[in-house]
Amino acid sequence: MVTVSNDTQFVHLAWHRSEKELAGVQFSMGADPTGKLGRMFGVYDDGSGLTLRGTFIINPQGQLMNSEVNFYNLGRNIDELMRKFKANLYLSKKTNEGCPSKWKDEGDATLTPGPEMVGRVHEALEAQKKTPAKV
């Protein structure tokens, strides 16, 4: 996990040192002073010189798996970020399954797409509630 803004690493140091709210935040703080990285992900705003609230998950093969961008005035839900991250880890091991919207952690019901599930998603999820999936 790396946080990124257009500030330099020196400003990051100063901010981390002065802002007590950041005392517990231990993530690497990335510097993108030219906006090059922000442009690559479509979050750099040329008009303001600021970066939109974008979150991107990249797998170990370098493939972009998730993309979420919020405007300046809407914060992100870290629980949802962690849900998506956990789902990505799970799905990288169980490549024939899918994690539905209510999936939160390993052991929760997943879907395995196939002909028998077409039009029967509700029944498939209900069946797993009665017999929890083996992990």
Binding residues (CB under 8 A) for other proteins: these are 1-16, 19, 22, 25-32, 36-43, 50-67, 72, 75, 81, 85, 88-89
Toward other proteins, which CB reaches closer, 66 or 128?
66
Q: How far is the CB of 94 from other proteins (least distance, A)?
A: 16
DSSP label at 28?
E
Q: Do the Cβ atoms of 77 and 66 come closer than 8 Å?
A: no
Toward other proteins, which CB reaches closer, 72 or 100?
72
* CA distances in angstroms from 72 to 125, 126, 133, listed in the order given: 37, 40, 40
Tokens 């370098």 belong to which residue? 62
* CA distances in angstroms from 73 to 44, 52, 56, 113, listed in the order given: 15, 9, 19, 38
Toward other proteins, which CB reaches closer, 22 or 109?
22
Q: How far is the CB of 56 from other proteins (least distance, A)?
A: 4
Q: How far is the CB of 54 from other proteins (least distance, A)?
A: 4
